[in-house]
């Protein structure tokens, strides 16, 4: 019984270091196993209860993450500080690329697929390597810093 609770505490401490919820789910499963051991159930039931609680937690976590919508990292304004920032485009070349002056330096930028090549204000939709991917207009997100 104490093994399960000790292991749960260890995984909880590891969780605090990583910041993911997966080790928290393992820790909760081990608490369930410890509770089953305290109730006097056999080792098979202890392991089964821990697995069950961990798997149910995993299903709930994935359902929660999907309900919030997935945003790729390179176009997530909460991860990449450049996403949502605005640049001015004078003219596009034949390959739909341009050099823009942004944050005190010249950057290679390209127009996002399916967008009309027009001059004017554009916002940074994503960053792919050292290339800014632009879309015309203003950033539709609310987290943009102008």
Query: Could you give the number of structural domains in the chain?
Result: 2
0.75 cut: is pTM over it? no
- Residue found under tokens 């997530």: 76
Q: Answer yes or no: is 141 within a domain.
A: no
Q: Answer yes or no: is 143 within a domain.
A: no
Beta strands in the chain (DSSP E): 86-89, 97-102, 105-111, 120-128, 131-136
Report the alpha-carbon distance of residue 139 to residue 4 in Å, rounded. Answer: 50
Domain containing residue 91? 73-136
Q: Specify whether 62 is located in the same domain as 77.
A: no
The answer to whether residues 85 and 122 touch, using CB atoms and an 8 Å cutoff, is no
C-alpha angle with apex 84: 106 to 19, nearest 5 degrees? 110
Residue 141 reports pLDDT greater than 80: no
Distances from the Cα of 54 to the Cαs of 4, 19, 24, 65, 104, in angstroms? Answer: 14, 17, 9, 16, 49
Q: Specify whether 61 is located in the same domain as 35.
A: yes
86: domain CATH number? 2.40.50.140
pLDDT tens column, 107-130: 999 999 988 889 999 999 999 888
Q: Specify whether 106 is located in the same domain as 49.
A: no
pLDDT tens column, 29-77: 999 999 999 999 999 999 999 999 999 999 998 888 777 666 667 777 7
Q: Answer yes or no: is 108 within a domain.
A: yes
Q: Answer yes or no: is 145 within a domain.
A: no
| Tokens found for residue 98 | 């341009």
Of 29, 28, 46, give the one whose Cα is nearest residue 37.
46
Q: Of 67, 93, 124, which closes a domain?
A: 67
Local structure of 42: helix, strand or coil: coil
Average pLDDT, the chain: 88
């Amino acid at each position: 019984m104490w093994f399960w609770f000790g292991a749960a505490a260890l995984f909880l401490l590891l969780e605090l270091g990583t910041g993911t919820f997966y080790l928290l789910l393992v820790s909760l499963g081990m608490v369930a196993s410890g509770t089953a051991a305290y109730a006097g159930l056999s080792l098979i039931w202890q392991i089964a209860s821990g697995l069950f609680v961990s798997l149910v937690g995993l299903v709930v976590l994935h359902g929660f993450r999907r309900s919030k919508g997935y945003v790729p990292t390179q176009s997530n304004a909460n991860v990449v500080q450049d996403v949502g920032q605005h640049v001015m485009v004078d003219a596009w070349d034949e390959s739909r690329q341009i050099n823009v002056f942004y944050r005190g330096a010249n950057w290679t930028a390209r127009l996002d697929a399916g967008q009309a090549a027009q001059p004017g204000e554009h916002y940074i939709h994503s960053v792919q390597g050292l290339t800014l991917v632009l879309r015309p207009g203003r950033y539709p997100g609310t987290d943009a810093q102008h």
